[in-house]
Structure 1
Amino acid sequence: MTQLFWVSSILTIILYFQYSYSQTTPTNCAGITTDWLAWGEWSTCTDTCGGCGIYMRTRVCLTSNINCLCQG
């Protein structure tokens, strides 16, 4: 389970930085409401023989301003 969490965390970090660098102007997020929804279900494994397959799951960030991301 630790390995699965690690893969999910790495994907989250990559997506966060990809989104951060795509913004052209800084946004003041003071007072902006953001909240994470619960994690979704795990996907099926990409490797059926117990090798180095990957499981994935996602969660959605609810925000009142698309330029202000959820923390964590």
Structure 2
Amino acid sequence: MTFASRNVGAARAGIATLILFLIGMGMAAMLAVTIPEQNKDAFLMLIGGLNTAMGGIIQFYFNIGSRRSAGG
């Protein structure tokens, strides 16, 4: 493992941690804070985008689709 590949792995883990933290804070905000009606759609779109990013993180780290055998 070279220095560059180790840094890329650390960057990916850092970005994954940041996305998970942001979605956790967004969910906590939905429970704890009353969101104004004019900002509700924008906030839900932000949570949806973070949810999509979290799906990419899960797919990358757990690689769910490619573990299934083609032979049955």
The question of a shared fold, defined as TM-score above 0.5 by the shorter chain, is answered with no
TM-score class normalised by the smaller sequence:
0.3 to 0.5
The structure richer in helix per residue is: 2
Structure of higher RCO (CA pairs closer than 8 Å, 6+ residues apart): 2
TM-score normalized with structure 1 length: 0.37
The structure richer in strand per residue is: 1
